[in-house]
Structure 1
Amino acid sequence: MAKFEGIFEIQGTMKGMTFYKSKDGLLIRAKGGVSKQRIKNDPAFQRTRENGSEFKHNSQMGQLLRQTVSPLLRLAKDYRVSSRLNRVMSQIKNLDTVSSRGERQVPIGIGTVDGKALLKGFDFNQNAAFLSVFRSPYSLDPVTGIFTVTDFQSEFHLRVPEGTTHASLSGAVLGIDFATRLYDTQYSNKVNFAIDTTLQTITLTPAALPTVTETQLFFLLIEFFQEINGVQYPLKNNSHNVLHILEVV
């Protein structure tokens, strides 16, 4: 796939090349190719079929994970989150050392220490990475799901976008079985505070523990607001909000 740069904006097909718009600008790709029927049946395309099968599986696993925290994801994501998460799922799938090529599975890969480490630390909004925004020590109890920050001063411990007057912290604990696609997401309380030097302790406690326990993920959401005449408005359509996977067990 190539990117087109020129003084004329072309869309459509010309001399076997298709020009089309994307969020990355005007792109070009060759028209046509090998028929679907040949790819499906020709032994020469066995590797292609294997790659396609695993690609589909990775996409399904990524979609499943996004679905589990959709209320949070609506508040903090970038437009590449699907492709970035699919790439991580592919890496996790590669850790399946027992299945045949073309049949490797995320549920097996995520059962490894390395598989969990690949998912831990994922930022759903790459434009607002947790480590660049949140600057305070914290504790997370993986048994209770309780997230705690002591001696927290928002003015010093958060890197806030221009125009921010308030912020909120909230969390979630997800229990998921990637093999059966069953999951249970439990959300915490939300703590809202002004951006100032007030010293405080913030505790986020999930409403309950997930009933699904195969794999557990712990999320933190940071939202930014601007207060006008006593009303807090999401800052710049939530584009600076953080959604981060703190831990995977």
Structure 2
Amino acid sequence: MAKIDGIVEIQGTVKGVTFYRTKDGMLARAKGGISKKRMKTDPAFQRTRENGVEFGHNAKMSKLLRNSASSLLLMAKDSRVSSRLSQSMSQIKNLDLVSDRGKRQVGIGIQTTEGKKVLQGFDFNNKAVMGSVFKGEIDLDPVSGTVVLTDFNPALHLAVPFGATHVSFSTAVAMVDFELSLYKTRYCNKENLSVTADLATYSFTPSEIPPGTGSMVYFFLIEFFQEMNGKQYPLKNNSYNVLTVLDVV
């Protein structure tokens, strides 16, 4: 695959070469390749078929987790979150040490300690990551799903982007069954405060722990706003917002 660098922009196919626009600029690739029938039946492409099945599985599991936090994801994500999360799912799938190649499952890999650690701390917006924005203390009770920000002081514990006057915190807990492709999510209260607020402790508790089987995933969202004429507006179209996975149990 070639990248086009120049002032002349070509789109379409010219002499067997297809030119097309992507987020990374204009790219070019040659037409042709292996037929679908041969790809599906030729023993020489067995590994390719296995890789393809697992690639599709990773993408499906990535979408499942994103859907479980869809209300929060609307507030904080980057353009490559789908592919980044699919890569994490691939790492978890590789921890399935009991299934045959081509049949390895995220649902099995996530049951391991290593599999859970892959998702812990995953940032859905890589332009605003948790570690660079939030410096306070977070306590999570996995039994009740309660998250507590103890003695939180915005001036000391928050990297406030230019123009922000207010910040909101909220959490959610999802029961995600990667084997059955099911999820149930419960949300907590939202706390909105001035970025110049005094030191205080804030607690967030979901309406209930979602029922079901699978992995419990805890999400934490930080939103920034700019107040104007008594009304708060999302800062820079949510580009500074943080959404992270606090823990997986």
User: Is the TM-score greater than 0.5?
Assistant: yes
SS at match of 2:245: strand
Do residues 126 (structure 1) and 123 (structure 2) align? no
Aligned to 1:40: 40
SS at match of 1:104: coil
| Deviation digits for residues 146-190 of structure 1 (CA, Å, limit 9, x no counterpart) | 111121111221112111000100000111111111211010100
Q: CA RMSD in A?
A: 1.0
Distance in 2 separating the partners of 1:98 and 1:136: 40
| Deviation digits for residues 15-64 of structure 1 (CA, Å, limit 9, x no counterpart) | 32211111111112221211111101111111111011101111111111
Q: Report the Cα offset of residue 2 of structure 1.
A: 2.7
AA matched with 1:120 = Q
Aligned to 1:232: 232
**Contact 1:122/1:245, CA 8 A, preserved across alignment:** yes
Aligned to 1:248: 248
| Deviation digits for residues 103-141 of structure 1 (CA, Å, limit 9, x no counterpart) | 111001001010000011100000000000001112111
Q: Report the Cα offset of residue 69 of structure 1.
A: 0.9
SS at match of 1:82: helix
Aligned to 2:6: 6
| Deviation digits for residues 197-218 of structure 1 (CA, Å, limit 9, x no counterpart) | 5111111111111102421111
User: Which runs of 4 or more aligned residues in structure 1 lie more than 4 Å from their structure 2 counterparts after TM superposition?
Assistant: none
Do residues 82 (structure 1) and 76 (structure 2) align? no
Q: Report the Cα offset of residue 196 of structure 1.
A: 0.5
Alignment of 1:184-203 (within 5 A): 184-203=184-203
Distance in 1 separating the partners of 2:168 and 2:213: 28
SS at match of 1:116: helix
* Unmatched segments (≥5 aa) in structure 2: none
Aligned to 1:156: 156
Aligned to 1:111: 111
AA matched with 1:40 = K
Aligned to 1:54: 54
Which has the higher mean CA deviation after the structures are superposed, 124-133 or 178-187?
Answer: 178-187
Do residues 147 (structure 1) and 131 (structure 2) align? no
Q: Report the Cα offset of residue 13 of structure 1.
A: 1.4
Which has the higher mean CA deviation after the structures are superposed, 19-28 or 186-195?
Answer: 19-28
Q: TM-score, normalising length from structure 2?
A: 0.97
